[in-house]
Structure 1
Amino acid sequence: MQEPYGRSEKNWVLGLTSLASFMMALDALIVTTALATIRSQFGSPVETLQWAVNAFNLSFAVLLLAGAALGDRFGRRRMFAAGIALFVLASAGCALSATAGWLIASRAAQGAGAALVMPLAMAILSSAFGRDERPRALGIFSGITGFALIIGAAVGGFITESLGWRWIFWINLPIGVIAIVLVLTRLRESFGPAVALDITGLLLVAIAALALVWSLLRGNSAGWTSPEVTSTIIAGLVFTVAFVLFELRAAAPMVPMRLFASRSFASAIVASLLFYAAMYGVVFLLPQFLQNTLGFSPFGAGLRLLPWTATLFVTAPIAGAAVNKFGERPLVVAGLLMQAVGLGWIAVMVAPGLAYSAMVAPLILAGVGVSMAMPAAQNAILGSVMPAEMGKASGVFNMGRFLGGMFGIAAMVATFSANGSVDSAATFSRGFAAAMMLAAALSLAGALAGLCLPARQRVAVTEVPQNS
């Protein structure tokens, strides 16, 4: 049996997993505000440089579940450190890029490193903290990681203006090296079930994810009814069904389908997919509204997201602790209803002459809401599985979060294009308002999924020792 973690050891676990996840999440969006400078230096069209973002996302999506499986098989601490090392090397490749193709390839390698780090961070964190302490730890972890996703564009703009775009990537090297040393010296090794890798399952889910994500990325530019998009959607669905059927029969499945028999697990996964779809879509469009319609600079727009983002630091840890008292369902439902109201509020007031001050209250309301829902949903997912399967559960959660985010961006951009354009402040406002209303609807659907979570069971629970 595994010895209990001491307070100091728990603090190291929380600090290092949060630091690594923050670095990975930050780089998912940090390059967006530097693309104009990169395009000017390389002389590449926008259609090419969009893959500086998409390459990271694609490799992250298709390798995510493999990262969790490798951690279970070869050691979570070992693979966690290896993921950071790959990310650091890829960051150096990005900084040294002489062509757009070089940059895109290096960004794909960064995504592969992140695919190792992100699911294993949650698994390591969950194995260190017991049932009563885990919600608060996940709340802090979620707040730090979520904040990185939202400030990425602003940080990228600030660094690009101050030091040059290559420093967006150089800065990862000293932080990453220090993190690797501390991970190897301060964290305890842990393993999942010692079973053979599910190579067939990995290939099936990789092809399915690649096809579905590709269709989401290409839908707006190629056309949703184009042969390219329809064929990739069909291929993605076929391979998804094949993956599920294979996993149901596999002796050692990468994703045990029995996990979805748990109402808590299944409901929390669906709710997470929906609220991350809304959140990622807003993160993508709101800074552009602040710049194109209200006239702020990229860095200024990022600063004006703080009424939304700062709520994560205050609310998420409190909400994580409140799970023990109230259970997951009230926090997920109430939080997503608050996000729906906040985003809908913005949608009905949007206009070219809108004063930014009018957006502060709904931004705070939406931020507090999603900050309540995130740790509660994660706790429902991880609390519904055995400790040995936490790596796989966190991999499924992160895959759902990513695919939900990609769906949200694609759906909100499609809604924006159908109702407005970038030609003027008035047409941008019309498209943005329609997209924000969709984000509110997605949040409301997430709240409905949260209603399916089981009610809080007020019984004494004895912590089960966790095997290493």
Structure 2
Amino acid sequence: MTYPKRLALAVLSAATLMTILDGSIVTVALPEIQHELGFTPAGSSWIVNAYLIAFGGLLLLGGRLGDLVGRRRIFLAGNGVFTAASLFAGVATTSGQLIAARFLQGVGSAFASAVALGILVTLFTERRERTFAIGVFGFTGAAGAALGQVLGGILTDGLGWHWIFFINVPIGLVTILAALRSLPADRGTGRLANVDVLGAVLGTAGLMLGIYTVVEVEKYGWTAGRTLGLGAVSLILLAAFVARQATVGEPLLPLRIFRSRSVSSANLVQMLTLSAMFAFQVLVALYMQRVLGYGALETGLAMLPAAVAIGGVSLFVSARLNARFGERTVLLVGLLVGLAGMLWLTRLPVHASYVTDLLPVMVLIAGFGLVMPALTALGMSGAAADDAGLASGLFNTTQQIGMALGVAVLSTLAASRTGALLAAGASDAEALTSGYRLAFAVAAGLLATALLVTAAVLRPAAREPVSEVEAAGTVLPAH
């Protein structure tokens, strides 16, 4: 691999890692931010939700704009917005300022992340190089959330919560400068004048409203009139968006992309997997703090073995296994190992020993280091060259939807079980632990479903119709 390509890979991975870290780095800093800026307990959730809604709602639009006007331009613009918003968040002195900054961070992250994967698969066309590049890129996705909690604890305890945002500024500036030197310029298809504005409004509004509804479920409940009403409006908007895409001449989301079985099924498997994986990141941290009494730094350090295991496997092992056995086989193995880790969590005791009750999970969770690179390759393999940005945006969108659904559903289940046990006279620790065990059992069910879908539906891309990328001579990863 040439130096310019290595630099480009480093730029894409660094930008992606930065945006993924930002999604989880705030979780351990929430108590300190809440205290200093005067957030209410319910209001503090918007430090996370504002980012998540903007990020998940704009990924499809960002990916398609990259195909139309050039992925490099959208990548640079997204990183510029994210870097500026990080500075704004770090100097925020009121809750409103911080929420606004977090929303802008989500906007920048959406545009940068939406096209990063599309740039990667069009830049690395040789099979061995692409396998390695996707392995590195998968590392950023698999380890980013866990690393975010570690860094969040260290920075919050050592320097203060402001630095979880300030740290993005120099990284963002270096990334932008390196991107100007290393990423190839592209003009896109040049059809921006014909972009489907109505479709963009319908799709973005439907996604944002849907994610907003999901993240508010823990507060209002699934059967509340507010939840059902907003959910219905979101579904109507998304249905109108799909109908629009089927008839308009220049669709924002060409429905042809779903003809690829590898694209469709990989995105479904990712939603199921990320629902379980992100819930693991959040709920295990809460268990450590609320039941075991860990502080922010202790929680971050306790999660470090998971970050090292996931990162080491995805960076040094997954590419070789994918090249030798194929992504589908590696994905099945990774899901099995991850399922074993989630089942282990269903037996967590009230008085846990880190070495015997939690450390084995941190090792088994390395299975996700096999899952994400394989899913990345599978999710992009069926997309034509002109749709690489779209496929990248779609893949990232299903990732965010999976994370939002996982946290909302499993947190609600855990809270309901905890509330019922507290009402029955159980102690706080017993009620909380039982609630978390239920959530982990459901997460195990999600991983089992992902395993079944992978075994039953995913098939090697060679058995699918030849795509435009392959027709142009690009070698795609076999799976």
**Whole-Å separation in 2 of the counterparts to 1:437 and 1:64:** 31
CA contact (8 A) 2:142 2:311 kept: no
Aligned to 1:30, which of 10, 19, 25? 25
**Whole-Å separation in 2 of the counterparts to 1:192 and 1:389:** 10
Listed one character per residue, the Cα deviations across residues 397-426 of structure 1 (whole Å, up to 9, x for unaligned) are 100000011000011111101222596221
Unmatched tracts of structure 1, length 5 or more: 1-5
Shift of residue 192, structure 1, vs aligned partner: 3.8
CA contact (8 A) 2:56 2:110 kept: yes
Are 2:123 and 1:128 aligned? yes
Are 2:460 and 1:464 aligned? no
Shift of residue 273, structure 1, vs aligned partner: 0.6
Shift of residue 245, structure 1, vs aligned partner: 1.2
Are 2:311 and 1:313 aligned? yes
In the alignment, what sits opposite 2:12? 17
Are 2:292 and 1:299 aligned? no
Aligned to 1:115, which of 87, 94, 110? 110
- 1:305 alignment partner, SS class: helix
**Whole-Å separation in 1 of the counterparts to 2:308 and 2:110:** 26
**Whole-Å separation in 1 of the counterparts to 2:57 and 2:462:** 37
Aligned to 1:437, which of 437, 441, 448? 441
Structure 1 residues 313 and 157 mapped into 2: Cα distance closer, same or farther (>3 Å)?
A: closer
- Pairing of 1:286-435 with structure 2 (within 5 A): 286-317=284-315, 318-347=317-346, 349-358=347-356, 359-367=358-366, 369-420=367-418, 424-435=428-439
Aligned to 1:454, which of 451, 456, 459? 459
- 1:45 alignment partner, SS class: coil
> Identity over the aligned pairs, expressed in percent?
30
- Letter of the 2:17 counterpart: F
**Whole-Å separation in 1 of the counterparts to 2:121 and 2:280:** 29
Shift of residue 462, structure 1, vs aligned partner: 7.2
Shift of residue 174, structure 1, vs aligned partner: 1.6
Shift of residue 276, structure 1, vs aligned partner: 0.5
Listed one character per residue, the Cα deviations across residues 276-322 of structure 1 (whole Å, up to 9, x for unaligned) are 11011111110111122223222212222233221222221322332
Listed one character per residue, the Cα deviations across residues 96-151 of structure 1 (whole Å, up to 9, x for unaligned) are 21210011001100100001111211111111112512222111111123322122
Shift of residue 215, structure 1, vs aligned partner: 1.4
- Pairing of 1:265-304 with structure 2 (within 5 A): 265-304=263-302
CA contact (8 A) 2:152 2:300 kept: no
Shift of residue 450, structure 1, vs aligned partner: 1.0
Shift of residue 164, structure 1, vs aligned partner: 1.6
CA contact (8 A) 2:221 2:412 kept: no
**Whole-Å separation in 1 of the counterparts to 2:438 and 2:400:** 23
Structure 1 residues 208 and 300 mapped into 2: Cα distance closer, same or farther (>3 Å)?
A: same
**Whole-Å separation in 1 of the counterparts to 2:365 and 2:150:** 20
**Whole-Å separation in 2 of the counterparts to 1:329 and 1:191:** 34
Structure 1 residues 463 and 11 mapped into 2: Cα distance closer, same or farther (>3 Å)?
A: farther
Shift of residue 173, structure 1, vs aligned partner: 1.5
CA contact (8 A) 1:52 1:107 kept: yes
Shift of residue 458, structure 1, vs aligned partner: 9.7
- Letter of the 1:178 counterpart: V
- 1:420 alignment partner, SS class: helix
**Whole-Å separation in 2 of the counterparts to 1:97 and 1:281:** 28
Shift of residue 22, structure 1, vs aligned partner: 1.0
- Letter of the 2:24 counterpart: L
**Whole-Å separation in 2 of the counterparts to 1:399 and 1:22:** 16
In the alignment, what sits opposite 1:103? 98
- Pairing of 1:58-69 with structure 2 (within 5 A): 58-69=53-64
**Whole-Å separation in 2 of the counterparts to 1:26 and 1:375:** 17
Are 2:246 and 1:248 aligned? yes
When structure 1 is superposed on structure 2, of 208-217 and 188-197 the one drifting more is 188-197
- Letter of the 1:453 counterpart: L
- 1:449 alignment partner, SS class: helix
In the alignment, what sits opposite 1:159? 155
When structure 1 is superposed on structure 2, of 76-85 and 292-301 the one drifting more is 292-301
Shift of residue 39, structure 1, vs aligned partner: 2.2
When structure 1 is superposed on structure 2, of 313-322 and 8-17 the one drifting more is 313-322
- TM-score (normalised: structure 1): 0.93
Shift of residue 38, structure 1, vs aligned partner: 2.1
Shift of residue 457, structure 1, vs aligned partner: 4.5
Shift of residue 43, structure 1, vs aligned partner: 2.2
In the alignment, what sits opposite 1:172? 168
CA contact (8 A) 1:327 1:456 kept: no
Structure 1 residues 271 and 39 mapped into 2: Cα distance closer, same or farther (>3 Å)?
A: same
**Whole-Å separation in 2 of the counterparts to 1:78 and 1:211:** 28
- Pairing of 1:164-203 with structure 2 (within 5 A): 164-195=160-191, 196-203=194-201
CA contact (8 A) 1:326 1:456 kept: no
Shift of residue 226, structure 1, vs aligned partner: 1.3
- 2:353 alignment partner, SS class: coil
Shift of residue 465, structure 1, vs aligned partner: 5.0
Structure 1 residues 114 and 365 mapped into 2: Cα distance closer, same or farther (>3 Å)?
A: same
Cα RMSD of the aligned pairs, angstroms, is: 2.1
**Whole-Å separation in 2 of the counterparts to 1:71 and 1:121:** 10
